[in-house]
Structure 1
């Protein structure tokens, strides 16, 4: 199943003024990359995956907007998931995406390595 196109458009609007923004289809979703780091992703069911500082995860969870990201039964440190109903308003979506932007902007930009010949 493809990612939620309406949600992707809403995220694009939030990130419109961000420099070094790219998009990448992955795992059935659409990742929004800033300087090579994924800040957020639109999922197929309207859910949003967001990258956060692991030290702030409990605080973000307490907001009631996001849950820890679980993959293959294991909690993924630094990744949270917001269900569609939690990001139904533009304000809530902007807050969740903003957490991802704030965190990835603390990371050094990724540099593409030349391919070995």
Structure 2
């Protein structure tokens, strides 16, 4: 299944003010790299957000959110948010702000 193009465009617009944002197709999603680090991704029916692992459990209290699980492993600090819960500007901006807020502290997954 392909990523959600409308969601990708919303993310693109939200990050337009930042220099050097890169887009990479991976894991069936379109990932948005900020400062060389994965920040957000538009997937099929949901957005992935990389947030501070220290607030992971608190963020999961938001409706429509769940921990990213790949190959049976839960990734603390990575959260999926269902499209249905991103319809309002306030809800969408909440998750974008959390991801951008953590980006400066996040480690790059691939060294250059």
- TM-score clears 0.5: yes
Deviation at 1:19, TM superposition (A): 2.2
Give the CA deviation at 1:12: 0.9
User: TM-score under structure 1 normalisation?
Assistant: 0.85
CA contact (8 A) 2:41 2:49 kept: yes
Greater strand content:
2
Residue 75 and residue 108 in structure 1: after superposition, are their counterparts in 2 closer, same or farther (change >3 A)? Answer: closer
Mean Cα deviation higher: 56-65 or 94-103: 56-65
Residues 1-117 of structure 1 mapped to structure 2, 5 A cutoff: 1-45=1-45, 47-107=46-106, 113=112
Counting matched residue pairs gives 112
List alignment gaps of at least 5 residues for structure 1: none
Gap regions ≥5 residues in structure 2:
none
CA distance in 2, matches of 1:98, 1:78: 14
Residue-by-residue CA offset, 1:78-104 (whole Å, 9 max, x unaligned): 111101111122221111121111111
Contact 1:35/1:110, CA 8 A, preserved across alignment: no
Quote the Cα distance in structure 2 between the aligned partners of 1:80 and 1:107.
Answer: 15
The 3-state SS of whatever aligns with 1:38 is strand
Which has the higher Rg, Structure 1 or Structure 2? 1
User: Does the 8 Å CA contact 1:65/1:96 hold for their aligned counterparts?
Assistant: no
